[in-house]
Structure 1
Amino acid sequence: MQEIDDENETNTSEENGRPLCSSALKDFDFLRVLGRGSYGKVLLARRKTTDHLYAMKVVRKEDENLIRLQVEKQILEKSLNHPYLVGLHSCIETPTRFFFILDYISGGDLTYHLQQFRIFPEAHVRFYSGEISLAIKFLHEHEILHRDLKLENLLLDADGHIKITDYDLCKAGLKAGEKTNTFCGTLSYLAPEIIRGKSYGFSVDWWNLGTVMFEMMVGEPPYPFADSPKNSDLNTYKVLQSMLEREVHLPHHLSVEARSILKGLLKKEPEVRLGCHPQRGFIDIEEHPFFNNLDWNMMEKKQVPPPFKPSIGTEFGIENFDPEFTNEPVQLTPDDSYFVNSVDEFGL
């Protein structure tokens, strides 16, 4: 899926350069490549002194805005102790890169598991969307708009609980009722207010939740984009217009409750979208009939048993990641292996 970001920020931030501990890249063994994107790559790393596994996100400085990196780091720090958000344990800086040392979530993403299931049973969707909703609520309460909730950013831990990752497009410091206007996100998940070029707030995350739930129950997004490059610009325009003008088609196999919550989350006008009422907000989601049998208090404590437990083999669970990446050789640029400017450590 194509990801877009038109936010233009040219300021840079200044690192304090003061090491907080003696930890460095030499303290880790690098085992596998887990993923790769425009930002850089994610490695599976093992801390030599403890054998603990981490996901190490390697980000090139020249390709990233330093202010955005600082924002991502701050969000990762806040997320460390939330049960359904990937958190930051340490950040290592070299002359050319940042290394974010994150929770390693070995169960793979929901894109991978949906390919195996084709569609998820509604009980699975109720569980996953409940945990996702609590994570969204936490982010919003901490003035963070995610803006890129999608299946590939929704991971399962070894027990089958959700972990949201990838804060590249997050907007921090957004208070309730405030809005921003950056055109960014993943095409199939763009909320109508973003497509129209209007200012928007937390409403877009609830639209994303609706899109994710639809995809889990139907097997494709409500407004899918063709992968073919032929006439791609024209096709993109047509799909975006369809997202603005055409109501979502809800298959008959969905329950009444599922159809109702999807209609509510996929309202084109954010003022009437489920979860967006200025006073009730998240209460409307908690009290929706789709979640009637869900114990929200237990879920907040991570005490609701998952409906599915990923298969974790002897090779660190890498069977749940794309072999296109895991079969790559693990390589670090020579300067990054020896010259560490600073380290911030939170939970190693």
Structure 2
Amino acid sequence: MHKRGIVYRDLKLDNILLDRSGHVKIADFGMCKYRVTDELKTSTFCGTPEYIAPEIICGKKYNQSVDWWSFGVLLYEMLIGQSPFNGGDEEEVFWSTCNEAAYYPRFISKEAKDILSKLLEKKPQKRLGMPNCSSGDICDQPFFRTVNWEKIEHQELEPPFKPKVKSPSDSSNFDNFFTMEKAVLTPVDLQILMSMDQLQFKNFSYTNLRMID
């Protein structure tokens, strides 16, 4: 995504899913921004509070650096079981994110501490994952020394966990809080719909033929 100029802006545990084979998938691309580079940055304030990078909070222009920060928060949560920056409300979380250093318990390995501290670097240009980071490519970090990235990319490794799925439409692995919600469609004014060019949807799996001459 980054190589294609896309910044994701919503990396968090909620958006990391497993397919029926156990391979990792990223979901919910609603906050993506296209055509973002080192020269052409964006400044929209968006994201999930606990995962928002300091540069977004401070109102600065940013690029893919914010995704590497979110990845650092995500990895911290997976390794330690809590968020690196806490607070009673959003303002306290934002203050902690911008001003406090993350705490690293003794039980994590030095490789884990090393990569977390590089990802949670408050200066985006020095953050791990960015071209100017002196620590090199993220795939070459000691924490990932046993990972065969090429095999992972081609799904040639056996996933350590496979979700129990009865059918392609099985939703038993999702929280009932979401699956019990009623589907509500926002009604669209027919006149507005009729004024739109529907030909651009012609090759979609569903097309309302009544809207196409």
TM-score range for the pair, normalised by the shorter chain length:
0.7 to 0.9
Instruction: Verify: 1:251 aligned to 2:105, yes or no.
Output: yes
Other structure's SS at 2:47 match: strand
State whether residues 22 and 159 of structure 2, in contact with CA within 8 Å, keep that contact through their aligned partners in structure 1: yes
Q: Which residue of the partner structure matches residue 142 of structure 1? A: 4
Extract unaligned runs of 5+ from structure 1.
1-138, 227-234
Partner of 1:273: 127
Which residue does the alignment assign to 1:161?
23
Structure 2: runs of 5+ lacking an equivalent: 206-213
2:163 maps to 310
What is the TM-score normalised by the length of structure 1?
Answer: 0.52
Cα deviation for residue 223 of structure 1 reads: 1.4
CA distance in 1, matches of 2:120, 2:180: 39
1:113-262 aligned at under 5 Å gives the runs 139-226=1-88, 235-262=89-116
Whichever residue aligns with residue 241 of structure 1, its letter is W
Contact 2:55 2:62 in 1 (8 A): yes
Could you say if the C-alpha distance between residues 178 and 334 of structure 1 is closer, same or farther in structure 2, counting changes exceeding 3 Å? closer
Equivalent residue of 1:155, what SS?
A: strand
Are 2:87 and 2:93, in contact at CA under 8 Å, matched by a contact in 1? yes
**Which amino acid in structure 2 is aligned with residue 289 of structure 1?**
P
Equivalent residues of 1:211, 1:221 under 8 A apart: yes
- Post-superposition offset of 1:208: 0.7
Aligned length: 197
Which amino acid letter does the alignment assign opposite residue 244 of structure 1?
C
Q: Which runs of 4+ in 1 moved over 6 A?
A: 333-336
Is the Cα–Cα contact under 8 Å of residues 143 and 175 in structure 1 kept in the other structure?
Answer: yes
Change (3 A) 1:146 1:329: closer
Structure number with higher strand proportion: 1
1:141 Cα deviation (Å)?
Answer: 0.8
In structure 1, what is the Cα distance between the partners aligned to 2:163 and 2:2? 29
Whole-Å Cα distance in 2 between the matches of residues 254 and 290 of structure 1? 11
Query: Is the CA contact (8 Å cut-off) linking 1:147 and 1:204 kept in structure 2?
Result: yes
Question: 2:96 is aligned with what amino acid?
Answer: S
Once the two structures are aligned, what percentage of the paired residues are identical?
41
Structure 1 match to 2:144: 291
Task: Indicate the residue corresponding to 2:208 in structure 1.
Answer: none
Code of the aligned partner of 1:199: K
- Report if the CA contact (8 A) 2:127-2:133 is conserved: no
Query: Structure 2 vs 1, CA of residues 316 and 192 (structure 1 numbering), >3 Å: closer, same or farther?
Result: same
**C-alpha offsets along residues 16-45 of structure 1, whole Å, 9 cap, x if unaligned?**
xxxxxxxxxxxxxxxxxxxxxxxxxxxxxx
Q: Residue type of the partner of 1:239?
A: V
1:300 to 148, 153, 158: 153
Equivalent-residue separation in structure 1 for 2:137 and 2:188 (angstroms): 52
* Alpha-carbon distance in structure 2 between the residues aligned to 1:269 and 1:335: 45
